[in-house]
Amino acid sequence: MAKSASALARASKTKAKAKRIAAPATVTGGGGETHQTATAAEARITTNFGVPLSDDQNSLRAGPRGPSLLEDFVLREKIQHFDHERIPERIVHARGSAAHGYFELTKSLAKYTRAKVLTEVGVRTEVFTRFSTVAGGAGSVDTPRDVRGFAVKLYTREGNWDLVGNNMPVFFIQDAIKFPDLIHAVKMEADRGYPQAASAHDTFWDFIGLMPEATHMIMWAMSDRAIPRSLRMMEGFGVNTFRLVNDKDEATFVKFHWRPKLGTQSTGWDEAVKIAGADPDFHRRDLHEAIASGGFPEWEFGVQLLSQVQADGLPFDILDATKLIPEELYPIQVVGRMVLDRNPDNFFAETEQAAFLPTNVPPGIDFSEDPLLQGRLFSYQDTQLSRLGTVNFHQIPINQAKGCPFQNMQRDGHMQMQVPKGRANYEPNSLAEAGEIGGPREDPEGGFRSAPVATQSTKVRLRAESFADHYSQARLFYRSQTAIEQAHLASALVFELSKCSFDHVRDRVLANLGNVDADLARRVAVGLNVPLPPASKPAVPPIDMKPSPALRIVGKYPDSLMGRAVGILVTDGADGSVVKAVRKACEAEGATVKIVAPKIGGVTLQSGKLLKADGQLAGTPSVVFDAVALVVSEDGCTQLLGDSAAIDFVHNAFVHLKAIGHTAQAKPLLVKAGAAPDAGMVDLAAGAEAFLPPARTRQWKREPKVRMLA
Ligand code: HDE
User: What gap in Å lies between CA 118 and CA 359, rounded to an integer?
Assistant: 17
Contact 684, 662 (CB under 8 A): yes
Spatial CA neighbour of 317 closest among 359, 365, 371 = 371
User: pLDDT tens, 138-174?
Assistant: 999 999 999 999 999 999 999 999 999 999 999 999 9
Tell me: do 239 and 139 sit in the same domain: yes
- CATH number of the domain at 614, please: 3.40.50.880
Burial code (b: 16+ CB inside 10 Å, e: under 16) for 234-265 equals bbbbbbbbbbbbbeeeebbbbbbbbbbbbbbb
Atom number of ligand 1 nearest to Cα 150: 43
Query: Is the CB of 187 inside a 6 Å radius of any atom of ligand 1?
Result: no
CB atoms closer than 10 angstroms to residue 74: 19
Element (H, E) at 514: helix 503-516
Ligand 1 neighbour 138 (Cβ under 6 A): no
Residue 161 Cα to ligand 1 middle (Å): 15
Q: Judge whether 199 and 145 are in contact, CB under 8 Å.
A: yes
Tell me how far the alpha carbon of residue 380 lies from the centroid of ligand 1, in angstroms: 7
579 has pLDDT over 80: yes
Q: Note the pLDDT of residue 23.
A: 53
DSSP letter for each residue of 434-501: GTS-------TTTS-----------------GGG---SHHHHHHHHHS-HHHHHHHHHHHHHHHHT--
In the predicted structure, residue 3 carries a pLDDT above the cut 70: no
* Residue of 484 and 17 predicted with greater confidence: 484
Catalytic residue among 58, 160, 166, 360: 166
Asked whether residue 79 carries a pLDDT value surpassing 90, the answer given is yes
| Residue 234 sits in the same domain as residue 349 | yes
Count of Cβ atoms closer than 10 Å to residue 293 Cβ: 9
- 511 membership: H or E segment, kind and range: helix 503-516
| In contact, 256 and 238? CB cutoff 8 Å | yes
Judged against a pLDDT cut of 60, whether residue 10 lies above it is answered with no
153's enclosing H/E stretch is strand 148-156
Cβ of 451 closer than 6 Å to ligand 1, yes or no, is no
Q: Kindly report, residue by residue over 357-371, the tens digit of the pLDDT.
A: 999 999 999 999 999
Report the C-alpha gap between 423 and 439 in whole angstroms.
9
Q: Is residue 14 part of a domain?
A: no
Residue nearest atom 16 of ligand 1, based on CA coordinates: 149
Told to judge if 504 belongs to the known catalytic residues of this protein, a careful annotator would answer: no
Average of pLDDT values for 439-466? 93
Alpha carbon nearest to ligand 1 atom 14, residue: 376
Q: How far is the CA of 344 from the centre of ligand 1 (A)?
A: 22
Say if residue 312 is in the same domain as residue 256: yes
Which CATH number fits the domain that encloses residue 152?
A: 2.40.180.10
Whether residue 260 is preceded by a cis peptide bond, meaning omega within 30 degrees of 0, is no
Distance CA 650, CA 648 (A): 5
Residues 582-604 have a mean pLDDT of: 98
Give the residue with greater pLDDT, 293 vs 455: 293
CA atoms within 13 A on the CB side of 633: 16
Ligand 1 contact via 239 beta carbon (within 6 Å): yes
Please indicate whether residue 92, judged by its CB atom, sits closer than 6 Å to ligand 1: yes
User: How much is the pLDDT for 455?
Assistant: 87
Query: What is the distance between the alpha carbons of residues 237 and 225, in angstroms, rounded to a whole number?
Result: 13
Residue 28: in which H helix or E strand, if any? strand 25-28
How far apart, in whole angstroms, are the C-alpha atoms of residue 132 and residue 525?
A: 32
Is it the case that residue 100 has pLDDT exceeding 50? yes
> Among candidates 219, 226, 293, 232, which has minimal Cα distance to 517?
219
Q: 29 or 97: which carries more pLDDT confidence?
A: 97
What three-state secondary structure class fits 297? coil
Q: Inform me whether the pLDDT recorded for 21 exceeds 50.
A: no
Q: Residue 46: helix, strand or coil by DSSP? A: strand
Q: Is the dihedral of CA 352, 355, 358, 361 positive or negative?
A: negative
Backbone angles phi, psi at 520, to 5 degrees: -60, -50
Domain boundary among 496, 522, 551: 551
Predicted confidence at residue 56, as pLDDT, reads 96
Q: Is residue 271 domain-shared with residue 345, that is, in the same domain?
A: yes
Per-residue pLDDT band for 4 (boundaries 50, 70, 90) equals: very low
Q: Please tell me whether residue 605 adopts helix, strand or coil conformation.
A: coil
Shortest-distance Cα residue to atom 31 of ligand 1: 176
Atom 20 of ligand 1: nearest residue by CA position: 165
Residue 446 lies in a domain: no
Query: CA nearest 275: which of 549, 565, 501, 70?
Result: 565
Cα–Cα dist 174/376, whole Å: 12
515 is catalytic: no
Last residue of a domain, one of 551, 575, 595: 551
Does residue 365 share a domain with residue 262? Answer: yes
| Ligand 1 lined by 236 (C-beta under 6 Å) | no
**Quick one: average pLDDT of 11-21?**
44
Q: Which of 35, 58, 93, 652 is catalytic?
A: 93
Range of the domain at 656: 565-706
pLDDT at 27 over 90: no
Q: Does residue 16 carry a pLDDT above 50?
A: no
370 and 232, same domain (yes or no): yes
Q: pLDDT band at 24, cuts 50/70/90?
A: low
Probe target for ligand 1 pocket from 93, 148, 367, 382, with the most ligand atoms within 8 Å of CB: 93
- The type of residue at 387 is R
> Ligand 1: distance of its center to the CA of 156 in Å?
21
**Beta-bridge partners for 101:** 127, 340
Within a domain: residue 18?
Answer: no
Same domain, 573 and 536: no
Average pLDDT of the residues of the chain: 95
Residue 229 amino acid letter: R
CATH number at residue 478: 1.20.1370.20
Q: Which residues contact 611 (CB under 8 A, 6 or more apart)?
A: 570, 574, 576, 579, 595, 597, 602, 603, 604, 605
Given the CA of residue 382, which atom of ligand 1 is nearest to it? 44
237 and 315 both lie in a single domain: yes
* Residue with CA nearest ligand 1 atom 19: 376
Gap between the Cα atoms of 213 and 472, Å rounded:
11
**Per-position b or e across 220-233, b if 16+ CB within 10 A of its CB:** bbbbbbbbbbbbbb
Domain boundary among 551, 579, 597: 551
What's the mean pLDDT in 176-191? 98
Whether 344 is covered by a domain: the verdict is yes
Within a domain: 437:
no
User: Do 474 and 379 share a domain, yes or no?
Assistant: no
Residues 500 and 603 in one domain: no
For residue 130 and ligand 1, the question of a CB distance below 6 A is answered with yes
Residue 292 sits in the same domain as residue 148: yes
Query: H/E element holding 102?
Result: strand 96-105
Confidence at residue 31, expressed as pLDDT on a 0 to 100 scale: 81
Based on the fold, state whether residues 283 and 150 are members of the same structural domain.
yes
In this predicted structure, the answer to whether residue 20 has a pLDDT above a threshold of 70 is: no
CB distance 284 to 142 below 8 Å:
yes
Percent of the chain past pLDDT 70, that is, above it, reads 97
14 falls in which pLDDT band (50, 70, 90)? very low
Q: What number does the ligand 1 atom closest to the CA of 166 have? A: 28
Inform me whether the pLDDT recorded for 18 exceeds 50.
no
Task: Pick the more confident residue, 359 or 17.
Answer: 359
Tell me 665's DSSP state: G
Closest by CA to 401, choosing from 82, 128, 597, is: 128
CB 552 less than 6 A from any atom of ligand 1 = no
Which residues, including other chains, have CB under 8 Å from residue 230's CB and lie 6 or more apart? 262, 265, 283, 286, 287, 290, 563
| Structural domain contains residue 246 | yes
- In the chain, the number of structural domains is 3
Residue at 72 is within a domain: no
Nearest CA residue ID for atom 11, ligand 1:
130
Name every residue whose Cβ is closer than 8 Å to that of residue 593 and which is 6 or more positions away in sequence.
Answer: 565, 566, 567, 568, 582, 583, 586, 587
Amino acid at 383: T
CB contact at 8 A, 372 and 174: yes
| Residue 428 pLDDT exceeds 50 | yes
What is the CA(385)–ligand 1 centre distance, in A? Answer: 15
Residue 9 has pLDDT above 60, yes or no: no
414 within a domain of the structure (yes/no): no
- Contacts of residues 543-548 at CB distance under 8 Å and 24 or more positions apart, as own/partner, are 543/315, 543/469, 543/472, 544/472, 544/475, 545/315, 545/326, 545/472, 545/473, 545/475, 545/476, 546/326, 546/328, 547/476, 547/479, 547/480, 548/326, 548/327, 548/328, 548/476, 548/480
What is the tens place of the pLDDT at every residue in 655-709? 999 999 999 999 999 999 999 999 999 999 999 999 999 999 999 999 999 999 9
